Amino acid sequence: MTDILLFRDIDEPGLATIDVYERRGGYQALRTALKTDPAELIETLKGSGLRGRGGAGFPMGLKASFIPQGDMQKYVVVNADESEPGTFKDRELMQKNPHQLIEGVIIAAYAVGATKSFIYIRGEYEEQADILDAAVQEAYAKGYLGENVAGSGVELSLHVQRGAGAYICGEETGLLDSLEGRRGNPRLKPPFPANAGLFQGPTLINNVETLSALPHIVELGAETYSAIGVANSSGTKLISISGNVQRPGNYEIELGMSSRDIIYGLAGGPPEGREVKFWFPGGSSSPVLTADDLDVGYDFDSIAKAGSMLGSGAIIVVDDSQSVVDVCLKLAHFYAHESCGKCTPCREGTNWTEKMLGRVKDGTATPMDLDIMASVQQRIIGNCLCVLGDAMAMPVSSMIAKFRGEFEAHIEAARAAADRAAVGVAG
Amino acid sequence: MPRPVAQMVTFTLNGQEVTAPENAILADAALEHGNVEIPVFCYEPKIGGPVGACRMCLVEIEGIPKLQAGCSVPVKDGMVVHTDTPRVREAQEAVLEFILVNHPLDCPVCDKGGECPLQDKSFGWGDGISRFVEPKRHFEKPLALSPLIAIDRERCILCYRCVRFSQEVSEDHQLVLQERGAHAFVATFDGHPYVAPFSGNIIELCPVGALTSQPYRFRARPWDIEQSGSICTLCPAQCNVSFTVRDDRVLRVLQRDHEGVDDGWLCDKGRFAYQAIHVDERITQPLLRDGGELRPVTWELALETAAAALGRGRGRTAALAGGAATNEEGWLLQGLLRDSLDSADIDSRAGGTLPLDLHQALGAPALQASVPDLEFAHAVLVLGTEPVDDAPVLDLRLRKGVRRHGLQLFTATSRPSALDERAVLAVRYAPGAEAAFVAALDAALTGADVAGPAAAAGADADAVRALADGLRAAGEDIVVLWGERVCSGAAGADAARGLLNVAARLGLEGRDGAGLLGVPDGANGRGLREVGVLPNAAPGLAAPDTDGRDAAGIAAALAAGELTGVYLLRTDPLVDLADTPLWERALEKATTVIAHASFLTPGIAEHATVVFPAESHAEKEGTVVHPDGRLQRLRPAIGRQGETRPEWQVLAELRRALGNDERLLTCSMVTARMLESIPFYAGLTLDTIGADGTRWTERPQGAAAPAGAAAPFDLPAPAPAASPNGRLRLGTFRSIWASPEVGASPALKFLHPRQRVELAPGDAERLGVRHGSPVTVACDGRSVTGIAHVRASAPEGSVFLETAIAADSAAELDGPLVEVRPA
Amino acid sequence: MTWTPGPDQIEVVGGPSKAGGAGGLYRAFGETLRGLKTTFMQATEGVTTVQYPEEKIPVYPRFRGRHRLHTFEDTGLEKCVGCSLCAAACPSDCIRVVAAENTPENRVSAGERYAAVYEINLSRCIFCGYCEIACPFDAITMGHDYEMSDYNRSDLIFTKEMLLAEPLERTPLRAEGE
């Protein structure tokens, strides 16, 4: 069974160097791909059922097929701005196996006819950016990049661009603006990047993990790859587990695995004597699920049916020692701080929610404020320019809905404590 | 690119069938064709495409699950749109509530209060209550974004219209958003004040009171004021404006959007120089020179003295008209001179006159491009003019064409142009070598020898060839935007012939969307020519009985004593015309100098014998002609200040005193007489001119215009431009800010120019001149001082100095070569 | 043709009978005496004429008299910020406000702006009180003074200083329940 693909050789010493990578069969898939017709390659990608691993889960092959034909300048951009709290899978991929990504980029560029490609990596990933830079140099030196890719006559350049550390630059159009040298703000869609992306040219933009899967798809073929996983969620997925678990880290799983097996089996569950209170199935922007949902299969459709989303595949487990108010406030603070300020509901909604949660925290709120807060979340969802506003509103509203009692109890307790302190000072 | 033609489609809006152009923005189509307002804040089609930032315009479109931004959805056939469902109303209430989260409710002290889109939208679509009880964000306020604009960041709703204006319309790239999220604020990139030629437009763009005018600050509220539409005559662009009037004072100038003229923008001169109307320095009563001093006198005495002096100088009096004079005034002036004073010496051009048939040919209706053509042409050649200085609003039009319609822009100037950065190709030639350059371009277009004329022009022959090829390759719709200085000076006639040749080679005649567009020096330069304020043209560009002297000839004749008097209608030769030394001698020698003036500029203060107070542009009545042939109507917004009387009336009274019995009682009578006397204006009345003006060149009666000389012409070999040989070629320019109105306006005074000596870094280094240091520019024993401005794009071997400034003007120097040294 | 009343006929009441006697005497003098009684009873009540201007009738608290502008008691700053809303609300267009900006050296009001000119033309004012309602800062209220006659019309234009000053003679105010 080939349920380990992307992490197959991940612990191989020196895998980041091209020699080791080639020795382990690297760049063979590229040679196969270059012999295939690009249109056929896109059919393979479509047939593999690979869905984007960055968060939205859009079918990758379909996205590639949207890139128009013609001899205009086209681009492939790798979204390596892995900023979603709880997500750290791309970091390991780029640090330990950069050539797998580069190979994936070249295959994607060949498939859509792009001759320029960029890896936009978040500024905090300095070490990974250095590794990628070195790997790109090696690939150039070996002729996998440049004017004649692997002797096929295809041209491709690849540049690693470091961001400056803004969550919004992980939004694809914000990333493109930032890459163009402008303020990283999301753009109005349509036009989508496939038609007018980087420098207004057709652009294929994908997550690191998505592109890293391409060599394996080419190697295995569409049918074999799509057989892995469950219907509508084929292939393997890297998941980053963090929070109150005994063995946090990155794991590669076959999609469809039970969530309980992941949290309790792979990650060892919460510390002794603790229970899972709630968990984020796909990064901090996914609505929370509770212990009741632990038996849900970990794939796109099942998680969606449970009322959340698979997102970037980052599971954050919160046990019963934690306060939901603290988690919620921390989350709201993050999104209020990272909101770009371009559209009104996100800018003011995140800021307002953070202020309200601050009052919940210190006990100056009333239960009516919880109603207002819930209504504010509903007024954010679906009304924003990009999904950052929704990314805060969805988990916050799910937490208020599922743990309203705890919020109210916290307000009571905090107010009582404040009153006691005031009396103490006065007395 | 030619204007797109839109097909009409039908869509359903709130259950009602609406027909609108396909792909029109839904918010626009709903308002214009369906009478349904979709509220917007960030959307402003004048700035550019939609950005969907404020989310105020959310609407429901059947078939799309999420609410869509009405400012960004193009109308399609069969689309079903709802703007009044509970879901949409909830979203609109939500967005307004969010916007008001951080917007202070200080409407009573806010200048926007009463004319504020946010107030209107809150009233129309808001919930009426706010559930936000936390503290709002705070910024230091009030702050000056520039001496002209106050910024209140607390009120800002971050629609970033101003930022987009700066980035995408005026392209000065100064305004940016700083910080992120709810802490974001508008600021300049480098923290310096936002000073740019078009900065004031952001005040009108701001949908809240975040950006307000400093001069208008707290002056009035919307219910205290009245708006009065007219035309700004401070430059040839003749933007349509609306004066804000309170208690008979102009307090503000707003744009009055006219797609065919200004596209809804104003420059800061037009927007803020109204202050000069109400300053103490302004002349508001007649002055008479008495014992060497100008003293206030009664109108009767002033008119009597002037009429007597003119009567004595019959046959020996000349007249000059400045650019701000209206058609009526020009027509009366030429009548006064030609009929009552038996003189033909009258001029309105600074650079010498052209043969009449060339004036006729350059102004021929078939060859005239319109202002919108600048935007939709395939290519525009900017020749010998700097739009941002000479007719500022055209600069924005060209940038819009390049940005939105794929216009290919070419610049050919001696001084580097602000538009070079947007041009496909920028070609330089030596200052004053316009005729040679045009000859070279003509040669390149016909495939003749380019090298000779290009060398004479000091231009690169390959660049000229590339320019010719580029123009030919761009398409058929080509507009040549040329400045009056091209056809000035000794070789002016040759340059005009060359220009007509170029137009003929490119096939511009009779083509819609192509042609020539000449930017005159004076605001109404074109109108004054057409009503006969030229030494060799009578009204209607007809041949006069006798030809007279042009401006330079008048100066020489005055200095030689052949003429004894000069009538200066809104012009001061010492400021507006070249060769100051000669004019000083001329005015010194003249026994009668009658002037209409608003300010005591040097020539008026020292030499005028009678000064009549001139009206400001807000007080004026009459007509003017836009460079593209559009007759526009001026209407008085305020009463005349002080004892000022209308200038047409003064001219009419002098005419009567000098023996013409025709009674002209109102300005509209003068207008009617003037329009009757010109064949190609036939049938025009003040009513047909109306609020939007009328292009006479487009009317059938326009065919009555004399055709003039027919291209192509054989051009003589141009004289070579002077070789610098250690010295520098003298080029001149007139800054947008070089006008007495700017100097007199308290808010704009800081922009009033002092001499700025522009030169290339190489020359500066060779001459030991540092940027910002004082330098002396000398020629033939005369010199001026100025501040060195080392400009990387300036061509080596040339130096550029300002004209039309009161002190140290380049008009003091004769050229063509000057010496520059550190002062 | 004779009139035949229908079923909705109402009773016809006859006039006074022509008979004399006591009834006739009463009719002749009774009402007159009753009227005289009222007249003589008034004579005992004393004088009710108010000796204006020596004496003034107290006004009700909500009486709308001459306007007053107010200052803050603690800082002495004017409450009016010169927003002109009173002028906008005024149906007789008798208020004129010209605003100016406060500076650190010359702080007149609490906000950014203040009224440099505030004039009410009392010869045109109809004392409707809309200005008071419109004011967002309670800077203008209707006072109780009604003695505003003057010899010159121009003297009826009240300036800011006059409106800010305490009225010279206070109009008596009617006490609660009076």
| pLDDT, tens digit (0-9, with 9 covering 90-100), for A375-420 | 999 999 999 999 999 999 999 999 999 999 999 999 999 999 998 9
Of A352, A359, A382, nearest to B101 by CB-CB distance is A352
What letter does residue B417 receive in the DSSP assignment?
P
Spans of all domains in chain B: 8-84, 291-343+524-694, 370-513, 728-822
Q: Are A84 and A206 part of one and the same domain?
A: yes
Beta strands in A154-269 (DSSP E): 157-162, 203-207, 229-230, 233-234, 236-243, 249-254, 257-258
Of C87, C97, C113, nearest to B109 by CB-CB distance is C113
- Topology of domain B370-513, CATH: Dimethylsulfoxide Reductase; domain 2 (3.40.228)
Whether C12 shows a pLDDT value over 70: the answer reads no
Give the type of residue at B675. L
Residue A296, both tokens: 């849900």
User: Could you give the CA distance from residue B738 to residue B806 in angstroms, rounded to a whole number?
Assistant: 9
Measure the N-to-C terminal CA separation of chain C; round to a whole number of Å. 66
Residue A422 lies in a domain: no
What is the mean pLDDT of the segment spanning B526-534?
A: 96
Q: In angstroms, what separates the C-alpha of B684 from chain C's closest C-alpha? A: 42
Cβ atoms of residues B495 and B483 within 8 Å: no
| pLDDT, tens digit (0-9, with 9 covering 90-100), for C134-148 | 999 999 999 888 888
Mark yes or no for CB contact A383/B99 under 8 Å. no
| pLDDT, tens digit (0-9, with 9 covering 90-100), for A264-314 | 999 999 999 999 999 999 999 999 999 999 999 999 999 999 999 999 999
Using an 8 Å CB-CB cutoff, list chain B residues near A166.
180
User: Could you give the CA distance from residue B780 to residue B819 in angstroms, rounded to a whole number?
Assistant: 10
Mutate to test the interface with A, among B180, B183, B403 (most CBs of A within 10 A): B180
Please state the length of chain C. 178
Distances (CA, A) of A261 to A258, A265, A269, A298: 5, 4, 9, 10
Residue B473, both tokens: 């390759």
Residue B377, both tokens: 């042409």
Mark yes or no for CB contact A383/B55 under 8 Å. yes
Q: In angstroms, what separates the C-alpha of C110 from chain B's closest C-alpha? A: 11
Q: Are A202 and A238 part of one and the same domain?
A: no
What is the mean pLDDT of the segment spanning B569-589?
A: 94
Instruction: Show which residues on chain A lie within 8 Å of chain B, measured between beta carbons.
Output: 166, 168, 183, 188, 336-345, 347-352, 355-356, 359, 372, 379, 382-385
Cβ atoms of residues A300 and A255 within 8 Å: yes
Whether C14 shows a pLDDT value over 80: the answer reads no
Say how many CA atoms lie within 13 Å of B101 toward its Cβ.
Answer: 25
User: Could you give the CA distance from residue A340 to residue A169 in angstroms, rounded to a whole number?
Assistant: 9
Q: Are A274 and A246 part of one and the same domain?
A: yes
Which residue of B lies nearest to C90 if distances are taken between CA atoms?
Answer: B223
Q: Residue A223: which CATH number?
A: 3.40.50.11540
Using an 8 Å CB-CB cutoff, list chain C residues near B113.
83
Torsion B800-B348-B629-B650 (CA) sign: positive
| pLDDT, tens digit (0-9, with 9 covering 90-100), for A59-84 | 999 999 999 998 899 999 999 999 99
Residue C6 confidence (pLDDT): 67
Which residue of B lies nearest to C103 if distances are taken between CA atoms?
Answer: B142
Cβ atoms of residues B207 and B198 within 8 Å: no
Residue C167 confidence (pLDDT): 76
User: Could you give the CA distance from residue A211 to residue A191 in angstroms, rounded to a whole number?
Assistant: 23
Of C87, C100, C136, nearest to B223 by CB-CB distance is C87
**How does residue A427 score in pLDDT terms, banded at 50, 70 and 90?**
very low
Mark yes or no for CB contact B217/C84 under 8 Å. no
Cβ atoms of residues A116 and A72 within 8 Å: no
b/e string for A77-113 if b means 16 or more Cβ within 10 A? bbbbbbbbbbbbbbbbbbbbbbbbbbbbbbbbbbbbb
Question: In chain B, what percentage of residues exceed pLDDT 70?
Answer: 100
Would you call C81 an interface residue with chain B, using a CB distance cutoff of 8 Å? yes
Residue B207, both tokens: 């949908």
Based on C-alpha coordinates, what's the Rg of chain B?
Answer: 28
Q: Are A180 and A127 part of one and the same domain?
A: yes
**How does residue B574 score in pLDDT terms, banded at 50, 70 and 90?**
very high
Residue A1 confidence (pLDDT): 41
Using an 8 Å CB-CB cutoff, list chain B residues near C98.
219-220
**In this complex, does chain C touch chain A, defined as having at least 3 beta-carbon pairs under 8 Å apart?**
no
Whether C26 shows a pLDDT value over 90: the answer reads no
Q: Residue A368: which CATH number?
A: 1.20.1440.230
Neighbours of chain A (3+ CB pairs under 8 A): B
Would you call B109 an interface residue with chain C, using a CB distance cutoff of 8 Å? yes
Mark yes or no for CB contact B134/A359 under 8 Å. yes
**How does residue C13 score in pLDDT terms, banded at 50, 70 and 90?**
low
Would you call B140 an interface residue with chain C, using a CB distance cutoff of 8 Å? no
Residue A143 lies in a domain: yes
B8-84: which CATH number, 3.60.15.10, 3.40.50.1360, 3.40.640.10, 3.10.20.740? 3.10.20.740
Residue A330, both tokens: 């921390």
Residue A61 lies in a domain: yes
Q: Are A41 and A150 part of one and the same domain?
A: yes
Which residue of B lies nearest to C88 if distances are taken between CA atoms?
Answer: B223
Using an 8 Å CB-CB cutoff, list chain C residues near B224.
84, 87, 97
Mark yes or no for CB contact B182/A337 under 8 Å. no
| pLDDT, tens digit (0-9, with 9 covering 90-100), for B153-183 | 999 999 999 999 999 999 999 999 999 999 9
Which residue of B lies nearest to C96 if distances are taken between CA atoms?
Answer: B224
Q: In angstroms, what separates the C-alpha of B194 from chain A's closest C-alpha? A: 20
What is the mean pLDDT of the segment spanning C41-58?
A: 85
Q: Are A283 and A338 part of one and the same domain?
A: no
Q: Residue A256: which CATH number?
A: 3.10.20.600
Q: Are A341 and A315 part of one and the same domain?
A: no
| pLDDT, tens digit (0-9, with 9 covering 90-100), for B466-524 | 999 999 999 999 999 999 999 998 899 999 999 999 999 999 999 999 999 999 999 99
Q: In angstroms, what separates the C-alpha of B411 from chain A's closest C-alpha? A: 26
3-class secondary-structure state, position B249? strand
Q: Are A221 and A250 part of one and the same domain?
A: no
Mutate to test the interface with B, among A383, A387, A388 (most CBs of B within 10 A): A383
Q: Are A195 and A213 part of one and the same domain?
A: yes
Would you call B108 an interface residue with chain C, using a CB distance cutoff of 8 Å? yes
Distances (CA, A) of B219 to A149, B151, C115: 69, 17, 10
CB within 8 Å of chain B, chain C residues 137-166 = 137
Mark yes or no for CB contact A344/B53 under 8 Å. yes
**Which domain covers residue A331, as residue numbers?**
324-416
Residue A37 lies in a domain: yes
Measure the N-to-C terminal CA separation of chain A; round to a whole number of Å. 72
| pLDDT, tens digit (0-9, with 9 covering 90-100), for A157-192 | 999 999 998 999 999 999 999 999 999 999 998 899
Residue A421 lies in a domain: no
DSSP string, B468-532: HHHHHHH-S-EEEEEEGGGG-STTHHHHHHHHHHHHHHTT-TT-TT-EEEEE-SSTTHHHHHHTT
Of B67, B69, B182, nearest to A347 by CB-CB distance is B182
B291-343+524-694: which CATH number, 2.60.40.10, 3.40.50.11810, 3.30.450.60, 3.40.50.740? 3.40.50.740
| pLDDT, tens digit (0-9, with 9 covering 90-100), for B379-394 | 999 999 999 999 999 9
Q: Are A201 and A301 part of one and the same domain?
A: no
Q: Is B797 left (phi over 0), alpha (psi -120 to 50) or beta?
A: left
Mark yes or no for CB contact A338/B181 under 8 Å. yes
Would you call B126 an interface residue with chain A, using a CB distance cutoff of 8 Å? no
3-state helix, strand, coil in chain A (%, to 5): 50, 15, 35
What's the predicted TM-score (pTM) here?
A: 0.93
Residue B235 confidence (pLDDT): 95
Q: Which domains does chain C have, with CATH numbers?
A: 67-164 (3.30.70.3270)
Question: B43: closest CA among B30, B52, B34, B31?
Answer: B52
Would you call B183 an interface residue with chain A, using a CB distance cutoff of 8 Å? yes
- Topology of domain B728-822, CATH: Barwin-like endoglucanases (2.40.40)
Domain end residue (candidates: A191, A212, A227): A227
Q: In angstroms, what separates the C-alpha of C152 from chain B's closest C-alpha? A: 23
Residue A38 lies in a domain: yes
Residue C29 confidence (pLDDT): 85
Which ipTM was obtained for this model? 0.94
Would you call C101 an interface residue with chain B, using a CB distance cutoff of 8 Å? yes
Using an 8 Å CB-CB cutoff, list chain B residues near A183.
176-177
Mark yes or no for CB contact A351/B95 under 8 Å. no
| Domains contained in chain A, number | 3
Would you call B86 an interface residue with chain A, using a CB distance cutoff of 8 Å? no
Mark yes or no for CB contact C99/B113 under 8 Å. no
Would you call B72 an interface residue with chain A, using a CB distance cutoff of 8 Å? yes
Give the type of residue at B665. L
Residue A82 confidence (pLDDT): 93
Mark yes or no for CB contact C81/B108 under 8 Å. yes
Would you call B50 an interface residue with chain A, using a CB distance cutoff of 8 Å? yes
Neighbours of chain B (3+ CB pairs under 8 A): A, C
Domain end residue (candidates: A212, A227, A242): A227
Mark yes or no for CB contact B66/A382 under 8 Å. yes
Using an 8 Å CB-CB cutoff, list chain B residues near A356.
134
Residue A384 lies in a domain: yes
Using an 8 Å CB-CB cutoff, list chain A residues near B95.
344-345, 383
Using an 8 Å CB-CB cutoff, list chain B residues near C97.
224
A–B: how many Cβ contacts below 8 A? 92
Residue A139 lies in a domain: yes
Residue C43 confidence (pLDDT): 82
Whether B540 shows a pLDDT value over 60: the answer reads yes
Domain end residue (candidates: A193, A227, A261): A227
